[in-house]
Structures are given as C-alpha cells and as structure tokens.
Structure 1
Amino acid sequence: MRTPVPDAPDLLTSDEAENTSVLPAAKRYKLSNAAVHGLNTEAKMMVDAFEAEDGHLEDRIEMEVDGCAQALSATEMIVELLKEVKD
C-alpha cells in the first residue's frame, strides 16, 4: 500500500521542493515518496522549460504540477489494483 505523503519520513521539505506547487499537489493526491520525488523532478524541468517564456510562470507550473500529480496518483492506484487482482 502507498505511504501517504503527510506521514512519509523522507518527504521533501519546502526548501527541497523545486516549486511551491509540489507539496500541496503531493498531499492532495496522497502520492508515494517516489512519486513526490518524481513530481519534484518534473517541476524542475518545467521551471527550466518555461523560464524563457514570460508571464504567468507560477500559474502554468501549478497547473502542470497538479496534472502530473493526478496522473501519478491514478497510476499508483492502478498498480495497487493490479497487485490485488494477482493475489
């Protein structure tokens, strides 16, 4: 079973998060530690990609991070369901 983010011992701190959107999205979708770290990496790539463009950078990244978090959450749920079916 997934370790919910609020109780995760190796949870990213706000200082380690690449973007302020990472931790709220991770908590909202109860992502595992691995997914949170993946989301942080994705946010870093988004910051680098969007940095050259001007206007609403934080809003765009927040939307992208939230979308990625939703996808990661759904993927983790599917993996858990598949494990249950195999058992």
Structure 2
Amino acid sequence: MSIISTIVKSEAPREVILFLAGGENGISYPRLDGLYNRNGWANISNNIELLKLVDTMTTEGLINHVNGALRKGPMWRSPEFMVKKKYTFE
C-alpha cells in the first residue's frame, strides 16, 4: 500500500485535503475524488460529502480553487500528521 493510501485511510479527510492542497501544484478535484474512490471512501461517505467538505474548506479560507486545482488558501495550516512527522516520505 502506498503512503498516500495509508494517509487517506488513517487520517481525517480535512487533514488529507490540507496535505494535498499544500503541495506546489495542489490537487484537482477529480484526482481527489479518484483517490477516495480507490480507497473505498475511507472516513467520508461519498463524493457528495467530499464536495461539501471542499466547499466548506474553501469558505473557511483553508483552500482555494486555482487554475483547476485545490491549493493553499490564506488560512491554510499544516496538517497535524505532518507537524507530528507521523509518516516518512522517501
């Protein structure tokens, strides 16, 4: 299992989205949807709930839609699992 799949299955969706949006290119919604779909909608019911969460996080300023990607918003913060260095990326 990839480290990304482990994170999706183990962490709250809000934290996962913060992590993925924090990268240089962010993540497109279709890729985010596919990631949760491939992982059995872990920790979130379905794509409608995922859309609602993305909308809420956008309203809160945690993420922005930029050129078709979800990226850091003005209120973005590092996900807790990154602050705690819970995973190793190699």
- Same fold per superposition (TM over 0.5): no
Shorter-normalised TM range: under 0.3
The structure with the largest alpha-carbon Rg is 1
More RCO (CA 8 Å, sep 6+): 2
Under a length normalisation based on structure 1, what TM-score does the superposition of the two structures give? Answer: 0.28
Richer in helix (by share): 1
Richer in strand (by share): 2
